Chains A and B, each alone.
Chain A
């Protein structure tokens, strides 16, 4: 492709975009001669160049469009139809130009259709020159010109015929003089469709017909007369035609700029080195020129950066056209207001956000803005508004896309999220509206009732979000039902240069992009902010929330010997990625620096934790930590080798029932808790009364010896004062769990967030906003009585096999040890399905203990299914657990032959019922 053609293509592309924009403006303001002149000039330039380069197809099209616009300039009425036709022509030109760019040759094809239509349109006026007929019938039926519309007319539309007639009837020359004002207020409730005519035009046609028609003057003088008038107003409107202003510019290849940028970066580094050297030398003679060099360099850097900046308006250029087309397609009236178009940002960023922005605006127009009648009914102005706003804020640029439409229907989104399996019902209920709104960024999530051609094609907001996040940006949604929706996009000013926090970990330095940093917290053992451990996973309490901590050294494997790694001192960089908040624990924080981001080597791109690298002022290369990568690691638990805040974990253990928990302290500062239902009594005993037998602490308690077990093996029992005990008893056996302090008894939804694989803990949960370890009593029972777990009370040799069915992992965990302690071999199942599978399996089940309230198939369903299954399974006795003992439930249980009915927390009741049931069952079997 020769240079001339390439230049032509670039130039034409820009011209076409401008013309698009200007035409839409022109349509709204048909009397603005400045805009018209500008369009005319651009089209003329395109035409001229095409002729020069030998591109006949383009030239013919441009020529036809120019002719029509020439008529406008000479005073022909500007109709929406004509504008549409010109826009169509521009689209065709764009298609040809695109082809030209690809193959360097004009594609074959004919444009007679468009050229014909354009010519007819321009001739419309010429045809009007002959003496006009007396009075036109308002809606004539005869066909004057062949109908060229490709579809049937819609109600309210006007055929070309009528239009033609209107033109003919109008005494041509007189019309221009009248076009300067709106004759009737525009009352159409939607934008005009192709081929439609404004009321204005019709009115004008009517009015003009009888009057001046009497003596039609020669066209030429009239046109000349009309011309000076608009010209007179031209200077006034000159100011708004920014595109016309002759800025002195020169086209520079982007590669040249990139290279310049690299060289400047290098210069900066060299300057920094020189300054460093100068600091160590006494010789002052070169300090002054060095200072000057330094200043010049800084200025140069700034200047080169500026060359990469472009106003965001260039990404918005296509939007007025998009909205215009959409509003006619959808039959809505939409105003597009753009503010801050001059806000500049890096061209690289601009490229990336262009498409997401267009998509979001389309979305707002399609889903956001209601139809005219709907808006009226809601008491809003008929015309919807989409407002684009861009402004600088700190080191980022904020773009808002606001519509005054119907807002997001959060109830529907909640329902859909559950339907699509993105979140569970319980989760969705707990989520804030803002969180729910973000579901629209999930792939394949469209709330539009009908899939229109405009949006709802599957590619949607998820792509938008991905693109924006790719460049380190964020999207937020504010929505109010009936009031509208505002999307706020925050993106870094430039990709090339970002503000980053330089941190240290061991002997490494890393950069963390400032955008994702919320705050810094200094942590130190013994201070207000201390890193706590939940089963080895570090967490930080920050304003009543538990923040997972990712020690950067551990995550990156910086410690050769993990045992020496200490993560308790340093700084926590609190970061947020999407909904996820976490803290990155680093050893030190240096400063914030504007860094020049360089892409990661392709050999290292597979490491998800780094997004790039940079050269610091001192010349060292440092890696840029990618908070998105860290977030993913936190989510998958890979960072610490422990299950983190993984969603699955939370889901499984979640149950909305509140549980009464006894919260106590013992061994370390961590809070511990155990369900109160398991506790027999709380005691405060005189420490002096603790006796030691065989190295084990005992106390005389209610006439018996009760073994004491410290809750933590390292815990030292008190020798004096009072010792707090949590007493657990089972039948005649009791055991005292020695704790430091009983803290509280609380009712809370128990949500075991972090499952432990230590046997003394079930896991950790947030109880009343504090991290609490949930103690596994089953661990302590054998410590008190060696034989407790073995349950020798049963004389039978056969240990009954028990199947425990409960959807809550917590209750399974809690009841299993209790049941084991009562002498059963326990198999647990999380659902009726799983239970049935186990029942049908190899192991013969002697008794089933099942929760009745389970999601999906309930306990009742399970029993019914069991009764229908093989006779062996139908015989298995069932004990039902229920949170409530409603009479109808008991009735149903009885009907199904459920052996016993026990309240969920009645541990001793359960054991008693089991003993009864299995004793009789085994007797029968024997």
Chain B
């Protein structure tokens, strides 16, 4: 529990008793939760413009109501293989540093109200890449929901940019 506490303090997870609303998304069988206050909208990503020389996580740019949105593939971000069957590109609209991002996922599910009772820290043997973007895990009936840290998910490529600039 000690570990969980420090984790809470670090990531700002809810104190016991309070509930947080999550927008759930899924990649294959895995389910993830994004804090609802960070999610602007959910949309279908179409007409993606490829960006040559871009980091692999960036699938392209798209026009969402006159705003240029950077589409980031959550699968690639988590080191998962690309989806085989190209269905609709569902995207969750996020805002980070004044810029608009679209997180491409397989599916967007319902909004869940979850209390801290079911919340626990990441298992220690979780893939480092996943651990870096996850705040913890909610134990639900029959499945687990991985809570994503939006800022961490979008914080990639900074080192790369720095290296390139140097």
Using a CB–CB cutoff of 8 Å, the interface residues on chain A facing chain B are 262-263, 265-266, 269, 508, 556-558, 598, 601-607, 609-610, 613-615, 619-623
Contact = CB atoms under 8 A, between A and B. Distances in A.
Which of A603, A607, A609, A619 has most chain B Cβ within 10 Å? A603
Contacts of A604: 51, 54, 58, 70
Contacts of B63: 269, 615, 619-621
B9 interface: no
A560 to B, nearest CB: 12
B128 interface: no
Given A601-B70, A609-B52, 10 more contacts: A557-B52, A602-B97, A603-B55, A606-B161, A606-B165, A615-B68, A619-B63, A621-B62, A621-B63, A623-B61
Interface of B: 47, 49-55, 58, 60-63, 65-68, 70, 72, 97, 99, 101, 154, 156-157, 160-161, 164-165
A89 to B, nearest CB: 41
22 contacts: A265-B66, A269-B63, A508-B50, A556-B52, A557-B53, A598-B68, A602-B97, A602-B99, A603-B54, A603-B156, A603-B161, A604-B54, A604-B70, A606-B160, A606-B161, A606-B164, A606-B165, A609-B52, A615-B63, A621-B61, A623-B51, A623-B52
Contacts of B53: 556-557, 607, 609
Contacts of B101: 601
Tell me the interface secondary structure of chain B in the complex. mixed
Given A269-B66, A602-B97, A615-B63, A607 B47 contact: no
Nearest to A553: B52
A240 B68 CA distance: 47
Given A613-B61, A615-B63, A603 B157 contact: yes
A117 B133 CA distance: 66
Which of A265, A558, A604, A609 has most chain B Cβ within 10 Å? A604
Contacts of A558: 52
B152 to A, nearest CB: 14
Contact of A613 (B68, B72, B97, B161): B68
Contacts of A556: 52-53
Contacts of B50: 508
A433 to B, nearest CB: 36
Contacts of B47: 619-621
Contacts of A615: 63, 66, 68
A265 B63 CA distance: 12
B54 A622 contact: no
B61 A601 contact: yes
A621 B54 CA distance: 15
Nearest to A601: B70
Question: Nearest 9 CB-CB pairs, A to B?
Answer: A266-B66, A556-B52, A606-B161, A601-B70, A621-B49, A606-B164, A621-B61, A607-B53, A615-B63
Which of B50, B61, B97 has most chain A Cβ within 10 Å? B61
Which of B53, B60, B65, B97 has most chain A Cβ within 10 Å? B53
Contacts of A557: 52-53
A263 to B, nearest CB: 8
A603 B67 CA distance: 16
A262 B66 contact: yes
A819 to B, nearest CB: 43
A389 B101 CA distance: 44
Contacts of B58: 601, 603-604
Contacts of B67: 262
A514 B6 CA distance: 56
A605 B54 CA distance: 9
Contacts of B156: 603
A638 to B, nearest CB: 11
A75 to B, nearest CB: 57
A601 B99 CA distance: 7
A604 B50 CA distance: 12
A610 B144 CA distance: 42
